[in-house]
Structure 1
Amino acid sequence: MTGGAGPRVRVLVVEDSAVVRHVLVRLIRDDPRLELLEAVETAEEALRLVPMLRPDVISMDVRLPGMDGLEATRRIMAECPTPIVIVSDSSTDPALRISMNALRSGALSVVQKPAGWPVDAAGGAAIATQLYIMSQVPVIRHRVRYGTVAPVEGDVLPPPRLRPRLVGMAASTGGPQAFAHIMGALPTTFPWPILLVQHMGTGFMEGFAAWLDTQTKLSVGLARQGEIMRPGHVYVAPAETHLTLGLGDEVRLVNAPPVAGQRPSATALFTSMARVGAGAIGILLTGMGEDGAIGLRDLRRAGGYTIAEDRSTSIVHGMPGAAERLGGVSISLPLGQIAPHLVAVASAAAPLPAVAGMEGRA
């Protein structure tokens, strides 16, 4: 934890439970990086205070009396854009669905709601740190501006040697809305399996996979050890487990230490995909930090095709920007162009002989 050398981050808490509100207030007051502005019980009160107080970040409950946290997020991002951290119960389906939709509507991250006081050290630190980190993200008035689907100038299609048979995608901050946009634009006939890494709290991965399944025509689920990948299916990395490509092109889940602080790690995924070289497409989307940059570089050097989300649509350009600086990116595209580009690549790719383990499984 850093000290209180610089200006403290000003936090507005929106939480209807008196117990949880008390816990959040204690966590904020005990952290030298943070300053509590106000703690309110309703979204309506939050909407009144946001333009007056101008908080640096908002801790937002999702199940509130009256207006819920999803509608509050939409209103705040449209009227007075402010970084929002969703504080949610990961064990209830309604809260999970609202949380994921709030992320798509502009909230930046989701953390586990504390059950009561005292909070375990790791849980308390996670909440305080998320509030501090997300306060640094420059948010804008939330409108869907993902870029047009006009052809990209220059060499649009990948090199002729590319013979894709799988896709890997990874993201962190802003990832759920980016994944929903891409997956929602892919057809049911999409010819390759997709391995997906999203940085998210431990209790939310199953709910995230279930939510993403409702946003696309593809089949989405948590990856399982040894699973044979099928075209048009999306395999989401489970919490605290690296998702990698096995030697027989099967799902391989690895309980190894974090890579550069992340587990699951985008770099672990992309590095494992480098084994198939020109048979792989790697896509690195919005996210804070540098996870995935080294792996994407390794994949490109091995002959794979690599795509990074362009700065113009990234919520945070940290991860794709790091990959660009390392020379790991074949092409950078606005979010709105990535799905059409994948469809174009699929249409242009020469037919492949059946991959061992994947034949007859479409």
Structure 2
Amino acid sequence: MIVEDSLVVRRLLAHIVSRDPRLQLVAAVASAEDALQELPRIRPDVISMDIRLPGMDGLEATRRIMAEQPTPIVVIADSVEDAALRISMNALRAGALSVVEKPVGTETGGYDRIAKTICTQLFIMSQVPVIRRRGPGISRPVASSPLPAVPRMPPSILAIAASTGGPPALAQVLGALPADFPLPVLLVQHMGSPFMEGFASWLDGLVPLRVALAQDGERPRPGRVHVAPGDRHLLLAPGGILRISGEPPLGSQRPSATRLFESVAETAGPQGLGVLLTGMGEDGAAGLLAMRRAGAVTVTEHESTTVVYGMPAAAVRMGGSSMSLPLPLIGPRLLSLAQEGGR
């Protein structure tokens, strides 16, 4: 189902969808009110949601849909200016799964790339099981294969990564950390490049820590969250400085959680602290294993709270997870590890 008030853009999105053999258009409506009315009858597998609509906006529509008939939602954002981005990010927090650029026209630059991204996101998100509410679950540290004994050392840096469902999960984890959190935080979130600065700004307004896009050559500071910029890897280099790398994507991902974790394993060794949250695919799993082998404490989000268990599940399967915890318990555990010197 397409929800878009502009007739021109609605027709353009319908054209884009109709060209992809993986997708079938079941409805294209001009308002959130129409979408809510049609939803029980049509029951789409996925919704393309404009964020700025007449009457009820896309944020409120997302809240209503997730409360009344949970359905995967992909936000189509027409602008990266502050107001629209804030609504888009809050829609992710309300239950939307991803945000992508809105196409302008077939003759504009980047049209083919944007059209391909829209179709791929709609198809992938249509496969995500969405439920109304997830309980916190009960979890114990996951048993894994023995690793070489490495003396435990106080952590000096926290690396955290997420993909599908990541923004609200990151807001919850980082929101549990105080402004004087003693470690720097390096963060990878899979999201379209144009939205990364707005994502960092949105997160900065939600959590006690200071959040900003990472800068090449910057030295990470305690109480700061350094976010990987769009379409670039974030790495911790020897000497403890940050590197922003344009090296090729790893497993189709740039930034890559695995590249971040591997760099922390190489540079910080047993003083690293790694966290892998909800996400589709396997990015981050091999990197988390590298961190654990280097003696770091590694945490994966428990299946009971993930939107998509793919990335944490891969890490658990490979033996890269020291412990698997429901989302509400991760922030407090990280604070405890940081304050107690990694014991």
* Pairwise TM-score range, normalised by the shorter structure: over 0.9
- Is the partner of 1:34 in helix, strand or coil? coil
Contact map agreement 2:134 2:305 (CA 8 A) in 1: no
Change (3 A) 1:285 1:124: same
Which of 329, 334, 337 lines up with 2:326 in the alignment?
334
Q: Distance in 2 between matches of 1:108 and 1:96?
A: 15
- Is the partner of 1:122 in helix, strand or coil? helix
- Does the alignment pair 1:321 with 2:313? yes
Q: Distance in 1 between matches of 2:312 and 2:321?
A: 8
Corresponding letter in the other structure for 2:294: A
Q: Name the structure 1 match of 2:336.
A: 344
What is the TM-score when the length of structure 2 is the normalising length? 0.94
Q: Distance in 1 between matches of 2:308 and 2:179?
A: 30
Q: Distance in 2 between matches of 1:87 and 1:101?
A: 13
Corresponding letter in the other structure for 1:270: F
- Is the partner of 1:234 in helix, strand or coil? strand
Q: Name the structure 2 match of 1:217.
A: 208
- Is the partner of 2:85 in helix, strand or coil? helix
Q: How many residues align?
A: 334
- Is the partner of 2:80 in helix, strand or coil? coil
Q: Name the structure 2 match of 1:280.
A: 272
Which of 65, 70, 73 lines up with 2:62 in the alignment?
73
Corresponding letter in the other structure for 1:123: I
Q: Name the structure 1 match of 2:174.
A: 183
What is the TM-score when the length of structure 1 is the normalising length? 0.89
Corresponding letter in the other structure for 1:172: S
Deviation at 1:146, TM superposition (A): 4.0
Corresponding letter in the other structure for 1:74: R
Q: Distance in 2 between matches of 1:114 and 1:88?
A: 9
- Is the partner of 1:140 in helix, strand or coil? coil
Cα shift readout 1:2-58 (whole Å, capped 9, x = no counterpart): xxxxxxxxxx00001112111101011111111111111110110111111000100
Corresponding letter in the other structure for 2:93: R
Q: Name the structure 2 match of 1:244.
A: 235
Deviation at 1:347, TM superposition (A): 2.5
Change (3 A) 1:321 1:83: same
Change (3 A) 1:336 1:113: same
For residues 131-142 of structure 1, what are the structure 2 equivalents within 5 Å?
A: 131-141=122-132
Deviation at 1:89, TM superposition (A): 2.1
Deviation at 1:278, TM superposition (A): 1.2
Gaps of 5+ in 1: 1-11, 352-362
Identity of aligned residues (%): 57
Corresponding letter in the other structure for 1:316: V
RMSD (Å), alpha carbons: 1.8
Cα shift readout 1:185-213 (whole Å, capped 9, x = no counterpart): 11112100000000001110000000000
Q: Distance in 1 between matches of 2:184 and 2:79?
A: 28
Q: Distance in 2 between matches of 1:86 and 1:204?
A: 12
Change (3 A) 1:63 1:302: same
Structure with more relative contact order (C-alpha pairs < 8 Å, separation 6 or more) = 2
Deviation at 1:145, TM superposition (A): 3.9
